[in-house]
Amino acid sequence: MSETVISVRNLTKRFGNFTAVNNISFDVYRGEIFGFLGANGAGKTTAMRMLCGLSYPTSGSGTVAGFNVMREGEMIKRHIGYMSQRFSLYNTLTVGENIKLFAGIYGLSKQVTAKRSEELLARLKFSSERDTLVKALPLGWKQKLAFAIAGIHRPEIIFLDEPTGGVDPVTRRQFWEMIYEAAEGGTTIFVTTHYMDEAEYCSRVSIMVDGEVRALDTPTRLKQQFNAGSMDEVFRMLARDAQRGE
Amino acid sequence: MKFFVCWPAMRKEENKVMRNNLFALVKKESLHILRDKRTMLIVILIPVVLIVLFGFAISTEVNNVNVAVVAPDRTNGVNDAVNRIAHNDYFTFCGYINQDEIDQQLRSGKVSAVIVFAPDFDRRMEQIYAGLPSTPIIQLIVDASNVNSAGAATAYMQEILLGTESQQAMFETRMLFNPQMKSAYNFVPGIMGLIFILVCAMMTSVSIVREKEVGTMEVLLVSPMRPTKVFFAKMIPYFVISCVVLIIILLLSYYLLHVPMSGGVWGIFSMSLLYVLLSLSLGLLVSIVVKTQVAALLLSGMVMMLPMLLLSGMLFPIENFPKFFEVLSNVVPARWYIEGIRKMMIQGSPFVAVWKEFTILLGMTVLFFGMSLLKFNDKLE
């Protein structure tokens, strides 16, 4: 079977009296596109933050890229890529400068940076835009650039936090092409989203409700299990009983 | 070639030193700042404009000094002296007044100086020439609001009143309205205190909070950059700007305003750099506590600039404060900085004389720096 790149057991996060993430357990395999779904307030972002080394679990354990979530946060950070909701690029810098910055942050040497920068720009057909300020780029391009930059240091896993907000369906589809390509190359993609149609694109999907994982399987099997025509329906059935969120 | 091919060799790079990622971040900060031309302009221009304006508003020239005379006996000697003043281009003789009018004339600004001749002037003058001891026979009462020109006017009057026969012993001089003889350039330390708080505390805090607002801070935290490095990367460009501004201010003060700075430039530099570090730490503390840029501005403004303006001794002398505020001003870092700089720049004290101010500032810097470093690291949780 495939190698496990993320492994989570009984992971819990409490803030005072409030349990944001309640005893979740799952595995993610190399090369898959793992969809992490849930309504706002369900605990997805908190869970993801723990996996990225951004916060410590209250209890439970987890390994990401082979490193312990509790003790080896710094090593995790070096081996993952991250793209935030707001595309994580600096608007006042140019495309080229953003690439150089993040390459520098991840410790890539000048030569490697230059090479990867060329490849990246060619792949995105951005070579002419190297000196354009990011704020002048259309949203869809920013999104693609952010994703490409998230992978500049060739991480094993790329975490995407609601990466397709505010973009039209055609652009979203193109973006997912990039995600497919990355997964085919062996990179594992961990993506949170609240667009249920995107759930269909994932290898496996987990749905969080009220801090717990209520479903975890491939989209096809989930639809069978819940007798639903779409992931949207599956989600609504699970979310009906939710105490938290919208 | 597939762009995203994942190389298992990544694990070997674990021990590779994270080369120069601090430098990458500092470069980014610098680019941000340099591209924000409006802010750059303000930061550099404010001190320049302030100093030049104040400097030129205070003229050191003696020109059209209005003079009144009090002379109970209008003897020959007195008339001669008065004529010399009246015929001098720089002075304007405004007439004889009475003893009791002196205060009102000076206060209202009608005259800038009053010359009072002693009674029995001629005989007393003879006595002095004969070498016999005598009290001064001419009293000069000068409006010393503008210390520089008052000093020059006084010296000039002494020279010309009795022609070649003037002697120091003949004169008694009283400088009014400025008993401490505070020179116009006393505002320079105040300006320095203000500028650095502005640049370092306000701008740093706004810049960091902006990243929080936009969302790029999260990306930095997720990256292998240790929070401490992010911390330093934010501080370094503003530190450099502050040094540039400091140099500009010192150059302007020395060459344009002729501020003595006899205490030694290095002392002034060290104290200023310490103060800059202090302000940077304060800016960072503010940025940790607030969530929006507006709040950052408000907090730095209210909590830092206002006490600084009112309590630091920059505008109002601390000795005049009610006891409560006098005690409170001890907590304002700017108070110690301005005092130290004043001593060195204006009084010409050597660095050792300001050890007390320096130590207090050092203590405060260590405290705030430590606090902000700790809180910044806590941000992870």
pLDDT in tens, A191-242: 998 788 888 899 999 998 888 998 899 999 999 988 888 888 888 888 887 6
Q: Which of B83, B70, B87, B85 is nearest to B160 (CA)?
A: B85
**Among B residues 19-58, those touching chain A with beta carbons less than 8 Å apart:** 19-21, 23-25, 27-28, 31-32, 35-36
Probe site for chain A from B33, B223, B378, B381 (most A CB atoms < 10 A): B223
| Chain A contact for B6 (CB, 8 A cutoff) | yes
Assess whether pLDDT exceeds 70 at residue B165. no
Interval B240-265 mean pLDDT: 82
pLDDT of residue B2: 41
Residue B10's pLDDT band (cuts 50, 70, 90): very low
CA atoms within 13 A on the CB side of B226: 9
Cβ distance B223 to A109 less than 8 Å, yes or no, reads no
Chain A nearest CA to B223, separation (Å): 6
Residue B17's pLDDT band (cuts 50, 70, 90): very low
Q: Which residues of A touch B380 (CB under 8 A)?
A: 54-56
Strands A4-15 and B171-176: unpaired
pLDDT of residue B8: 44
DSSP SS3 for B14: helix
| Chain A contact for B377 (CB, 8 A cutoff) | no
Q: Which residues of A touch B4 (CB under 8 A)?
A: 151, 154, 181-182, 184-187
User: What whole-number distance in Å separates Cα of residue B148 and Cα of residue B138?
Assistant: 22
User: What whole-number distance in Å separates Cα of residue B188 and Cα of residue B338?
Assistant: 9
**Among B residues 198-237, those touching chain A with beta carbons less than 8 Å apart:** 214-216, 218-226
pLDDT of residue A158: 95
pLDDT of residue B381: 45
The residue assigned the tokens 């003229």 is B59
Residue A243's pLDDT band (cuts 50, 70, 90): low
Query: pLDDT tens, A100-155?
Result: 999 988 888 889 999 999 998 998 888 888 899 998 998 888 999 999 999 999 99
Cβ distance B223 to A100 less than 8 Å, yes or no, reads no
Q: Which residues of B touch A119 (CB under 8 A)?
A: 1, 3
pLDDT of residue B56: 66
A–B interface: beta-carbon pairs under 8 A: 116
Number of Cβ within 10 Å of residue A60's Cβ equals 19
Cβ distance A54 to B3 less than 8 Å, yes or no, reads no
Q: Which residues of B touch A77 (CB under 8 A)?
A: 222-224
Residue A244's pLDDT band (cuts 50, 70, 90): low
Name the range with the highest mean pLDDT among A26-35, B79-88, B102-111: A26-35
User: What whole-number distance in Å separates Cα of residue A44 and Cα of residue A223?
Assistant: 21
pLDDT of residue A114: 92
Chain A nearest CA to B361, separation (Å): 34
* Two structure tokens written together for B174: 């009283």
Cβ distance B21 to A107 less than 8 Å, yes or no, reads yes
Through-space distance between the first and last CA atoms of chain A, rounded to whole angstroms: 38
Assess whether pLDDT exceeds 90 at residue A99. yes
Assess whether pLDDT exceeds 60 at residue B340. yes
A191-200, B146-155, B216-225, B274-283, range with the lowest pLDDT: B146-155
A105, A107, A151 member nearest B4 (Cβ):
A151
Give the angle B144-B149-B150 at the CA atoms, nearest 5°: 35
User: What whole-number distance in Å separates Cα of residue A135 and Cα of residue A133?
Assistant: 5
Chain A nearest CA to B260, separation (Å): 43
Probe site for chain B from A13, A88, A176 (most B CB atoms < 10 A): A88
Give me the interface pTM, i.e. the ipTM: 0.76
Assess whether pLDDT exceeds 60 at residue B18. no
Specify the amino acid at residue B186.
N
Strands A188-193 and A33-38: parallel
User: What whole-number distance in Å separates Cα of residue B112 and Cα of residue B91?
Assistant: 10
Q: Which of A52, A11, A23, A96 is nearest to B220 (CA)?
A: A52
Q: Which residues of A touch B12 (CB under 8 A)?
A: none
Interval B113-141 mean pLDDT: 84
User: What whole-number distance in Å separates Cα of residue B32 and Cα of residue B124?
Assistant: 75
Assess whether pLDDT exceeds 50 at residue B15. no
A105, A156, A159 member nearest B24 (Cβ):
A105
* Two structure tokens written together for B87: 């015929």
Cβ distance B380 to A54 less than 8 Å, yes or no, reads yes
Probe site for chain A from B213, B220, B222 (most A CB atoms < 10 A): B222
Specify the amino acid at residue B172.
E
